Amino acid sequence: MSAASTSPPEPSLRGSVLVLIQFDVCEELHLDRLQQAVSARTVQQPSMKHSAPAYVRYERPPVVEPVEPLVLESGERLEGEIKYYDYGVVSVVFQLPFTGDWDSLVRLASRWVWDVDFASRAEPIVRHMLERAASAMVKPYKRWLSEDYFIFHVREAAGAPTAADLTRDRGLQIAQVVRGDRLPLSTGECNEVMHSQVSYYAGDVAVIGWNAAFLYDSTAGAESSIQLLEYANSQLLEFRHYDELLTGILNDVYDLLGKKTGVFARWGLAKSASSLHTVLLDVAELTERADNAIKFLSDMFAARFYKLAAAKVGVPDYKDLVARKLKTAEELYQNMVEQFNQSRGFFLEVTVVLILLIELFYLFRGKPY
């Protein structure tokens, strides 16, 4: 048998797999102090895949530093880095080069999405890193919320197909990768997954799901897409935090209102209402800052990409929840102020009546007072 017949076939796919694990660690990170404490550099502004003058700009770019490689039980060695965002989110990114066929990519996606707990592996790394920069953290949280997300980036495919050809011929496998499912999906489910795709050139496509995304693009072209996916997930994490925070605040207010039912008991609502209003202003300011952390300066494709990514991971849903709870809390604040004003008015009326009674008492006794 000839050597040519025994050599392994060329891999049909080349690229990399990225795992994003993000933690909401504090209310704010002072990036300048953090850079003084750790060997981190500022992330470059996202480079767009097209040559138009429009671009995407961070309000305050995150800072990044490398972390030790993560070695899985399977022997896979993942290179990593950690990013710090000024609104209190820390993102760990692990990356593994990939070569193989479609079946091996589907198997890898299923195993990583469901069988490997990356968050439990990344959290000790983040805690160790932040021990060196405790002074940079504003109001650290005792409990960290976390999000993870997977990006399957195919840089090269056999035959160099166009995006349209790739999604037509390999839509089933792409849908399996995005869903992290070993078994073939139904036609309806496959169509649902493939409906969430976006392209700029004929040779690139991104298929975005709630837990993973598939990118077919060059290394340089995928850079901005990866950053936007990372940003969308950090926004989800922030709004999840504010949703939990407001839920706790509203429960406390309901309990307080249930206890202060008497006229004079409502007198103590002034301090509680003032505290509630201060919290509302803080939350509104923090949500606005997180929401405006990145600007789309006339780059319609980047804005469209982010809108799709944010919708798939659930950012608008949590943003609406936070907005509704802010509105409810504001209405409760107004109600508390109104109840306090009623109590104060009642107290003043009682005081006036008492004064009149005292005056009448001394008047009828005929004695000055």
pLDDT in tens, 314-359: 998 988 888 888 777 777 766 666 666 656 665 666 677 777 777 7
Give the residue, 252 or 335, on which the prediction is more confident: 252
pLDDT in tens, 187-213: 999 999 999 999 999 999 999 999 999
- 325 and 247 Cβ atoms separated by less than 8 Å: yes
- pLDDT grade, residue 283 (50/70/90)? confident
CA distances from 243 to 252, 276, 318 (A): 14, 15, 7
Beta bridge partners of 138: 28
pTM of the predicted model, to two decimals?
Answer: 0.82
pLDDT of residue 324: 85
- pLDDT grade, residue 229 (50/70/90)? very high
The tokens describing 255, both together, are: 């309990």
Q: Which residue has the tokens 């960290």?
A: 144
**Cα 60 to Cα 32: distance, rounded to the nearest angstrom:** 11
pLDDT > 90: percent of the chain: 49
Q: Which residue has the tokens 């409810």?
A: 328
- Which of 86-100, 261-275, 352-366 is predicted most confidently? 86-100
Q: Answer yes or no: is pLDDT of 41 > 80.
A: no
The mean per-residue pLDDT over the stretch 141-164 comes to 95
**One-letter amino acid of 174:** I
**One-letter amino acid of 364:** F
Cα dihedral value 130, 134, 137, 141, nearest 10:
70
Give the residue, 190 or 4, on which the prediction is more confident: 190
How do strand 137-157 and strand 89-100 relate by DSSP bridges?
unpaired
- pLDDT grade, residue 1 (50/70/90)? very low
The mean per-residue pLDDT over the stretch 231-258 comes to 83
- pLDDT grade, residue 270 (50/70/90)? low
pLDDT of residue 285: 73
The mean per-residue pLDDT over the stretch 66-77 comes to 91
- pLDDT grade, residue 311 (50/70/90)? very high
pLDDT of residue 351: 75
The mean per-residue pLDDT over the stretch 298-311 comes to 87
pLDDT of residue 347: 64
Q: Answer yes or no: is pLDDT of 55 > 70.
A: no
Give the residue, 148 or 51, on which the prediction is more confident: 148
**Cα 253 to Cα 187: distance, rounded to the nearest angstrom:** 49
pLDDT of residue 36: 82
pLDDT of residue 257: 64
The mean per-residue pLDDT over the stretch 308-314 comes to 94
Provide the CB-side half-sphere exposure for 337 (13 A, CA).
10
**Cα 266 to Cα 304: distance, rounded to the nearest angstrom:** 50
Task: Look over the chain and give the mean of its residue pLDDT values, rounded to a whole number.
Answer: 83
Cα dihedral value 239, 243, 249, 254, nearest 10:
150
